[in-house]
Structure 1
Amino acid sequence: MRELAGAYAARVPSLDVHGLIEGLEGVQLQFAPMGARDGAYDPEHHVILINSQTRPERQRFTLAHEISHALLLGDDDLLSDLHDSFEGERLEQVIETLCNVGAAAILMPDPVIADMLERFGPTGRALAELSRRADVSASTALYALAERTPGAVLYAVCARARLTGDEEGAGAAPVLTVRVSGGSAGVKYALRPGTPIPPEHPVNAAFESNLPVVEASYVPFRSGRKMPADVDAFPVRGRVMVSFGLTARGGG
């Protein structure tokens, strides 16, 4: 799927909404209100529908996702393998996952991710720059960057939120928490969404100062465990993009 999507991205004139569709001959792009749905591909009528009421960033990812559906349906070998291996609801889940993989590969081709890693290393800034350059959500950029990152690195996007339920301090002023997290191939764990960032942690320092912070510190697991890590925190528009480099001392 990644190879199909990468080849598609290489032959379209641009990666904006109108340039993306030009690689599918005879397929029309239409925008319309779609309620809770982001988009759909109608192979019978050769139309991709995009919800006109979603954010432009979301529309672009949805278009790349629906293009991936078209690419998958056009590859008889891949489609046959999927139907031989899965069926029913599980088949639909796998197809949706593959189309998300394809969308990421279209919007963030390997050369773009390689350029980010070469220029900035596996850092919070690399995550922020990839999200900006590819015009994708930080979570989409995070998973793509983590997949291509060598070594043991855990990425996270943090923002302020009010704690709820049984969490310590629930109902108090908003605190910095993890929104999404994911690690490279060498990392088998992540920070759970909603995990609070301790006030003394360098990620909080980056958020409060609005300045990048690079410091030897730790991964703040919800359990209270503090895994040593090299922290690179890069604040951008009310959020902090973070990488935790898990060196040998950090259990990477």
Structure 2
Amino acid sequence: MRVLARAYAAGLPALDTHSLMEGQLLQGAGVRLEFMPMGERDGAYDPENKVILINSQARPERQRFTLAHEISHVLLLSDDDLLSDLHDTYEGERLETMIETLCNVGAAGILIPDALMNDVLERYGPSGRAMAELVRRADVSGSAALYALTEVIGGQVLLAVCAPSGRGEARQLTVRASGKAAGVKYSLSPGTPIPDEHPIQIALETGLEISARSYVPFRSGRKMPAWVDVYPDGSGRRVFASFDLDPARLGGS
């Protein structure tokens, strides 16, 4: 999926919303773009009528990522081998989940060039700051930056985008999106609450970047030791975090 996405992006004049539709595959197939109110849905691709629909009421950065996601659906449907492998391996709800995951990977591959990714990783490593830099420099959502990083990082690292949910005094800081390096068997479920004393909560409250020995706050209550790098985005509404499980780093703290 990443190969398909990067090949598509290489033929684009730019990465703005209009230019994303200029790829040869979409132009050759006559795929068109329409904006319309879609309620809670961000977008959709209708292969029968060859039209990509984008929610006109969504934020511009969300519209751009959604467009790249729907273009990835077109790319996937055009690759018979990949499509066949998916249907041979998965079925039902699991198949739909895998397709959506791959299209998120494709969207990140389209919107975040290799040169940008390499520069960010060289400067900041697989950290919360790295996600924030990808969001700022590639003008993508936090989840897109997270998906892109998890595709290229190694080691024993978990990544998370966290934000408050709920209303009033009941608002709780929770995991909104998460990912992990290929070799990590643990994962953080969306909706996992962040404890009040955790560095992620402290970073949100203070607006300060934090790097400290702490733990992964699993939903079950288990606290796995980890080196945590946390970077608030400055709005007071979102925090980017990485959890390094490498015993060598923990032992050197």
Same fold? TM cut 0.5: yes
- Please say which of residues 1-10 and 112-121 is displaced more in the overlay: 112-121
Choose the corresponding residue for 1:210, options 202, 207, 211. Answer: 207
Distance in 2, matches of 1:77 and 1:156, equals 32
Q: Does 1:121 align with 2:121?
A: no
Distance in 1, matches of 2:134 and 2:122, equals 12
Distance in 2, matches of 1:43 and 1:222, equals 39
* Aligned equivalent of 1:4: 4
Question: C-alpha offsets along residues 142-176 of structure 1, whole Å, 9 cap, x if unaligned?
Answer: 1221221110111122223459xxxxxxx955343
The CA RMSD over aligned residues, in Å, is 2.8
- Please say which of residues 61-70 and 242-251 is displaced more in the overlay: 242-251
Look up the equivalent residue of 2:20 and give its one-letter code.
L
Question: C-alpha offsets along residues 26-59 of structure 1, whole Å, 9 cap, x if unaligned?
Answer: 4332222334543333445543332222222222
- Please say which of residues 210-219 and 62-71 is displaced more in the overlay: 62-71
Distance in 1, matches of 2:89 and 2:220, equals 38
Question: C-alpha offsets along residues 116-154 of structure 1, whole Å, 9 cap, x if unaligned?
Answer: 211111111001111222222212321221221110111
Give the match's secondary structure for 1:158: strand
Distance in 1, matches of 2:99 and 2:188, equals 27
Q: Does 1:133 align with 2:137?
A: yes
**Equivalent residues, number:** 244
Look up the equivalent residue of 1:138 and give its one-letter code.
G
* Aligned equivalent of 2:105: 101
Look up the equivalent residue of 2:158 and give its one-letter code.
L
- Please say which of residues 236-245 and 171-180 is displaced more in the overlay: 171-180
Structure 1 segments unaligned to the other structure (5+ residues): 164-170
* Aligned equivalent of 1:70: 74
* Aligned equivalent of 2:152: 148
Q: Does 1:219 align with 2:216?
A: yes
Look up the equivalent residue of 2:232 and give its one-letter code.
P
Fraction of identical pairs, as percent: 68
Q: Does 1:187 align with 2:184?
A: yes
Look up the equivalent residue of 1:139 and give its one-letter code.
S
* Aligned equivalent of 1:228: 225
* Aligned equivalent of 1:22: 22
Question: C-alpha offsets along residues 176-234 of structure 1, whole Å, 9 cap, x if unaligned?
Answer: 33333222112212233343333333223322221111112222334443322111111
Choose the corresponding residue for 2:56, options 52, 56, 69. Answer: 52
Distance in 2, matches of 1:202 and 1:89, equals 36
* Aligned equivalent of 1:168: none
Give the match's secondary structure for 1:180: strand
Look up the equivalent residue of 2:243 and give its one-letter code.
F
Distance in 1, matches of 2:197 and 2:84, equals 54
Instruction: Determine if contact 2:104/2:147 at 8 Å carries over to the other structure.
Output: no
* Aligned equivalent of 2:196: 199
Structure-2 change in CA distance of 1:185 and 1:50 (3 Å): same
Q: TM-score, normalized by length of structure 2?
A: 0.81
Question: C-alpha offsets along residues 72-126 of structure 1, whole Å, 9 cap, x if unaligned?
Answer: 3333443454455566766555444433332221122433322221111111100
